[in-house]
A and B are shown apart, each in its own frame.
Chain A
Amino acid sequence: MHLGRVVGTVVTTVKSQGLDGVKMLIVQPLDKHEQDSGSPVVAADAVAMAGPGELVYYVASREAAEALEERFVPVDHAIVGLVDEVTLVEDNR
């Protein structure tokens, strides 16, 4: 699973079967310092509570499809949790 921040929403009226009512959000992947890492992706919101600006964690590939109520829908990224706090302990080697 990966850390990310919701940076936008995507509205789609016409979409594949099984995706009705599923919110699509733009997620910027983050590194452990919560800095941008890579290109944003569009993720289905499996917790139905995420919104712009929020820190989340998400899954990709088949696990993303498993996150939604209807299984095996065509999604490749899904938000599975909101993150309240990341405690990073550095230089512990």
Chain B
Amino acid sequence: MKIAQVVGTVVSPISHSFFEGQRLLLCDLVDPDGSSRGSLIAVDVVDAGVGERVLICDEGTSARQIFGIDTGPIRSVIIGIIDEIA
């Protein structure tokens, strides 16, 4: 999994049928110390908000398992909201 910071929202009216109704968030991948390592777009299943530090699962098979599907072009999913990194 990867640590990320939610920095924005993405509005996509036309998309692959899998993404219809999904919430897309723009996330900055960060090191545990907070430095940025690029960004990606992830589907949110935990109701994360902008500004929150989250855990992203960036792997296709795990992502499909979360949604209970065998096929689908999904890879990056926000699977947790981070309270604290010690």
Residues of A that sit less than 8 Å from B by CB:
1-3, 31-32, 37, 46-47, 49, 57, 59-64, 66-67, 71, 78, 80-90, 92-93
Q: Is the interface of B mostly helix, strand, loop or mixed?
A: strand
From B24, B50, B71, B72, contact of A57 by CB (8 A): B24
From A1, A37, A47, A88, contact of B75 by CB (8 A): A1
CA distance A63 to B39 in the complex (A): 18
Count of chain A to chain B residue pairs whose CB atoms are closer than 8 Å in the complex: 99
Q: Given A47-B15, A66-B73, A87-B9, A31–B60 Cβ distance below 8 Å?
A: no
Q: Is the CB of A82 within 8 A of B26?
A: no
From A37, A67, A90, contact of B16 by CB (8 A): A67
Q: Is the CB of B9 within 8 A of A80?
A: no
Q: Is the CB of B26 within 8 A of A93?
A: no
Residues of A contacting B60 with CB < 8 Å? 61-63, 66
Q: Is the CB of B26 within 8 A of A88?
A: yes
Residues of B that sit less than 8 Å from A by CB:
5, 7-16, 18-19, 24, 26, 28, 34, 38-42, 50-51, 60, 71-76
A45 to chain B minimum Cβ distance, whole angstroms, is 10
Residue of A nearest to B13 (CB): A84
Q: Is the CB of A82 within 8 A of B13?
A: yes
Q: Is the CB of B5 within 8 A of A89?
A: no
CA distance A86 to B6 in the complex (A): 12
Residues of B contacting A49 with CB < 8 Å? 14
